[in-house]
Amino acid sequence: MSFTMKRRSVLLGSGALMLGACTKISDSEAGTRFFETVDDWQMGLQRALRARNALAPEYAPEDISPTFRGNGSTDPQNDGYPEHVTNGFADWRFTVTGLVERPLSFTLDQIMTLPQRTQITRHDCVEGWSAIGQWTGPQLSTFLELARVREGANYVVFRCADDYTRGRYYESIDMDDAYHPQTIIAHRLNGEPLPVKNGAPLRARVERQLGYKHAKYLTGIELVASLDAIGLGKGGYWEDYGGYQWYAGM
Amino acid sequence: MRHFVSTRIWHWINLIAIVVLFMSGLNISNAHPYLYWGDWGFSPTQAWLAVPRFPGWMTIPDYYSLAKARDWHLLMAFPFAFGLLGMWIAMLWNGHFRRDIKTARREWRWSAIRADIAKHLRFDFTHGEGKYNFLQKIAYGAVFGVLLPGMVLTGLAISPGMEPSLWWLVDIFGGRQSARSLHFLCAWGLFGFFVVHVLLVLLSGPVGQLRAMILGGDHQPTNPPFARPAKPEGESA
Contacts of B70 in chain A (CB under 8 A): 126, 244-245, 250
- How does pLDDT run across A203-221, given as a tens digit for each residue? 999 999 999 999 999 999 9
- What pLDDT is attached to residue A16? 78
Give CA–CA dist A156/A184, Å, rounded. Answer: 13
Half-sphere exposure of A233 (CA within 13 A, CB side): 4
Q: Number of structural domains, chain A?
A: 2
pLDDT at B90 over 50: yes
| Residues of chain B in Cβ contact (below 8 Å) with chain A | 16, 19-20, 23-24, 28-29, 31-32, 34, 36, 39-43, 60-63, 65-68, 70-72, 74-75, 158-165, 167, 170, 176-177, 180, 206-207
Chain A residue with minimum CA distance to B32: A127
Residues A2 and A42 in one domain: yes
Q: Which of residues B106 and B178 earns the better pLDDT score?
A: B178
Residues A236 and A113 in one domain: yes
**How many Å lie between the alpha carbon of B198 and the closest alpha carbon of chain A?**
13
- The domain containing residue A5 runs over which residues? 1-49
Q: Which CATH class for the B5-214 domain?
A: mainly alpha
Give residue B231's pLDDT band: very low, low, confident or very high (50, 70, 90): low
Give CA–CA dist B55/B63, Å, rounded. Answer: 8
Cα–chain-centroid distance for residue A86?
Answer: 27
How much is the ipTM here?
A: 0.93
CATH of the domain at A188: 3.90.420.10
- What pLDDT is attached to residue A241? 96
A142, part of any domain: yes
Residues A22 and A130 in one domain: no
Residues A150 and A203 in one domain: yes
Backbone angles phi, psi at A150, to 5 degrees: -85, 160
How far from B120 is each of A219, B133, B169, B223, B225, CA to CA, in Å?
A: 68, 10, 38, 10, 14
Q: Are B42 and A125 in contact (CB < 8 Å)?
A: yes
Nearest to A128 among B39, B43, B180 (CB): B180
Q: Kindly state the percentage of chain A with pLDDT values over 90.
A: 91
**How many Å lie between the alpha carbon of A178 and the closest alpha carbon of chain B?**
15
CB A98 within 8 A of CB A224: yes
A247, part of any domain: no
pLDDT at A20 over 60: yes
A246, part of any domain: no
Residues A96 and A21 in one domain: no
pTM of the model: 0.93
Q: Are A122 and B65 in contact (CB < 8 Å)?
A: no
CB A120 within 8 A of CB A58: yes
- How does pLDDT run across B109-147, given as a tens digit for each residue? 998 899 889 988 888 888 766 778 888 899 999 999 999
A250, part of any domain: no
Question: Please, is B13 exposed, middle or buried when counting C-beta atoms within 10 Å of its C-beta (0-12, 13-18, 19+)?
Answer: middle
pLDDT at A9 over 80: no
For B3-30, give the DSSP string. PPHHHHHHHHHHHHHHHHHHHHHHHHHH
Give CA–CA dist A157/B219, Å, rounded. Answer: 61
Characterize A62-96 residue by residue with b for buried, 16 or more Cβ atoms within 10 angstroms of its Cβ, and e for exposed: ebbbeebbebbbeebeeeebeebeeeebeebebbb
